[in-house]
Amino acid sequence: MDPFAVALFLVLVIAVAGAVLSARASAGKPLGEFGRRPASRPAASSHALDHQDLEQMLAATNALRQARGLPERSLTDAIREFETE
C-alpha cells in the first residue's frame, strides 16, 4: 500500500478518535458552560461600556476640533446634533 495513503488513513483515524473522546468528555455538560466567565469577574454592563465609548469618541472629536481651532462640543450638543440629522 502507498505510504501516503497509510499516513492519510492514520490521520483520519486519529481525528475521528479525538472527536469521539472529546464528545464523551463533555457529555452531560450544558453548552452554556462553555465560554462562561468565572463568578469572580462579572461582565461589565452594556450601558457602562456604551457610556465609556461615547466619552472616548467625544474626547477624540474634541481633540480634532481643538487642533482645527474649533470650539469643543459637550455630550449634550453632540447628542442634539445627532438627533436632528
pLDDT digits (tens, 9 = 90+) for 56-74: 988 999 999 999 999 998 8
Q: DSSP letter at 52?
A: H
pLDDT digits (tens, 9 = 90+) for 38-59: 555 555 677 777 788 888 988 9
Which of the pair, 27 or 2, is modelled with greater confidence? 2
Which of the pair, 12 or 24, is modelled with greater confidence? 12
The reported pLDDT for the residue numbered 12 is 96
Q: Could you tell me the CA-to-CA distances from 1 to 5, 10, 13, 14 in Å, in that order?
A: 7, 13, 17, 19
pLDDT at 10 over 90: yes
- Report whether 78 contacts 61 (CB < 8 A): yes
- Report whether 50 contacts 38 (CB < 8 A): no
